Amino acid sequence: MVAIASLGAGGGVWINQPEVYSLDGGKLRFITEHNTDFWAETYYGFQRHTGHAYGFYVEGDFTLQVKVMADFSHLYDQAGIFILDDERHWLKAGIEFNDDVPSIGCVATRVTSDWSTGLFPGDPAMFWMRATLEHKALRIQYSTDGLTWPLLRLLQWPEDKRRFVGVMGCTPERQGLEATFEDFIIAYPQGKSLHDLT
């Protein structure tokens, strides 16, 4: 893939920068602060935009891919990818600790949030996430081995515009989740078919 942006290239920006973080070459590590989350109203009734996210502003279609490592142990611990048009229109996807197990899930927010989640079939301490925006459709995939990429979600996304694309970590019920991100790349889409899992 031809990179549009990568962790080692510089130029990244924070949304809610954590107090403790390091960015060394191609590896980003940070520790979450207390009561951090991205959520908008649905069921719980609150509006939170306090989660940590690091990424790049991108115009047009893209593929984001990253390896994620974290030790999920408390309710709602989460880490993965984050795509933001503005504070009322965004998406996060990755592992979230829920009902005493790490689950793979996605929250899409168009003014209010929805949440789809299911059991993660691999080792949640290390996993991969991929998002591809192409033809006004956003495809979210995950991987347990970095080789095979099942579909997690496919949804309509708005017209091309400048948007934030990156990674996130949140701990709504505590502080102290250490999340590490490697092999981060934003590239142009490769035009793969929906059922191509490579």
List, as one string, the DSSP characters of 99-156. Answer: TTEEEEEEEEEESEE--EEEE--S-TTEEEEEEEEETTEEEEEEESSSS---EEEEEE
Per-residue pLDDT band at 5 (split at 50, 70, 90): confident
pTM of the full structure: 0.96
- Other CB atoms closer than 10 Å to residue 112's CB: what's the count? 13
Per-residue pLDDT band at 120 (split at 50, 70, 90): very high
C-alpha–C-alpha distance, residues 77 and 53, integer Å: 14
Predicted confidence at residue 128, as pLDDT, reads: 98
Counting Cα atoms < 13 Å in the Cβ hemisphere of 158 gives 14
Asked if the model's pLDDT at residue 144 lies above 90, the reply is: yes
List pLDDT tens digits, range 37-96.
999 989 887 789 999 999 999 999 999 999 999 999 999 999 999 999 999 999 999 999
Q: For the chain, what percent of residues have pLDDT higher than 90?
A: 85
Q: Give the chain's mean pLDDT.
A: 94
Q: Which two tokens stand for residue 103?
A: 């689950």
Counting Cα atoms < 13 Å in the Cβ hemisphere of 134 gives 16
- Can you tell me which residue has the tokens 């649905």? 42
Per-residue pLDDT band at 4 (split at 50, 70, 90): confident
Beta bridge partners of 185: 6, 65
Query: What are the chain's domains?
Result: 3-158+168-187 (2.60.120.200)
